[in-house]
C-alpha cells in the first residue's frame, strides 16, 4: 500500500544478470533455500556457502 514510500530503488546495470535473462531474484528464491536447509533433505549439507544469485557470482 505504501510501497512508494518504503521501496528502495534498485538500478540494474545493463548486462549484469545474463544467466537469468536479466530478471532479478525474488524473496521467494531465498525462502525456498531456507525451507530446504530447514528440512531433512539437507541433512548432509554442512559448512557450504549457498549463493542465491541466479548464477551471477560465477561470472565475477
Q: Is residue 10 part of a domain?
A: no
Question: In this predicted structure, what is the pLDDT of residue 19?
Answer: 67
The CATH number given to whatever domain includes residue 28 is 1.10.8.400
**What pLDDT is stored for residue 27 in this prediction?**
92
Kindly give the confidence (pLDDT) of every residue in the chain, 60 residues in length, as a single tens digit, with 9 standing for 90 and above.
677 777 777 665 665 555 676 677 889 999 999 999 999 999 999 888 898 888 777 665
Domain count of the chain? 1
Single pTM value for the model:
0.59
Phi-psi region for residue 15, left (φ > 0), alpha (ψ -120 to 50) or beta?
left
- Is 37 among the domain residues? yes
pLDDT of residue 18: 57
Residue 5 resides in a domain: no
Check residue 30 and give its pLDDT: 93
Angle, CA 26 vertex, CA 22 and CA 27 arms, to 5°: 160
Domain membership of residue 26 as a residue range: 18-59
Residue 8 inside a domain? The answer is no
Amino acid at each position: 500500500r505504501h510501497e512508494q514510500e518504503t521501496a528502495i530503488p534498485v538500478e540494474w546495470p545493463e548486462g549484469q544478470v545474463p544467466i537469468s535473462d536479466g530478471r532479478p531474484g525474488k524473496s521467494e528464491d531465498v525462502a525456498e533455500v531456507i525451507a530446504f536447509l530447514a528440512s531433512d533433505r539437507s541433512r548432509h549439507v554442512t559448512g557450504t556457502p549457498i549463493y542465491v544469485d541466479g548464477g551471477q557470482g560465477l561470472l565475477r
